[in-house]
Amino acid sequence: MHITPEEAAQSLAQIRETQHRALRSAPPMFPSWYVVAVWVFITGVQFFTEVTPLWALWIAIPVLSIGLIAAVLKFVMEVRNQSVRPHPSVVDPWAWGGLAIWIVLTALGSTGLALGLQALGVAYPRTVMGVTMTVIVVITTPILTRWMSMRTVRRAEMKN
């Protein structure tokens, strides 16, 4: 079978277009719900250490820990079983840098909010901070994961 250079170029262009379409429609690089689950765990720990009597910790901490372990296991299985994953060579390192910046900003925001609420004399400042930050994480994580995925798609498209 003889393939002309034009046919080979056309076939290669179709393959690349299919790859790009698959990457653009792929789920985010990691599921947003996982980060939310971690924040729910943190907020739960804050609540049970700040609001409830000490005996409640003996129940709450194991239950919260089991929930977090289940979330980690589900996360690992989901990421492992993704049908479309970008090759590490096309993953944009700035996307992971953006995640690191987001983590630092949420940590600083949490600390500042907790200290500010405490200075204002708000009852249960760490629990209020935890709930507030959980809501912020619920809103911002899907935006973050989509942004990370779009950076990777753009990088993959530029490599071709």
Q: Is residue 71 part of a domain?
A: yes
- Condensed to tens digits (0 to 9), the pLDDT of residues 113-136 reads 999 999 999 999 999 999 999 999
Domain count, the chain: 1
User: CA-based Rg of the chain, rounded to a whole angstrom?
Assistant: 22
95, 151 Cβ separation under 8 angstroms:
yes
Question: Which residue segment(s) compose the domain that 67 sits in?
Answer: 37-159
Q: Is residue 138 part of a domain?
A: yes
Give the mean pLDDT of 17-35. 77
Residue 30 resides in a domain: no
Residue 16 lies in a domain: no
What tens digit of pLDDT does each residue of 77-111 get? 887 887 766 667 767 888 889 999 999 999 999 99
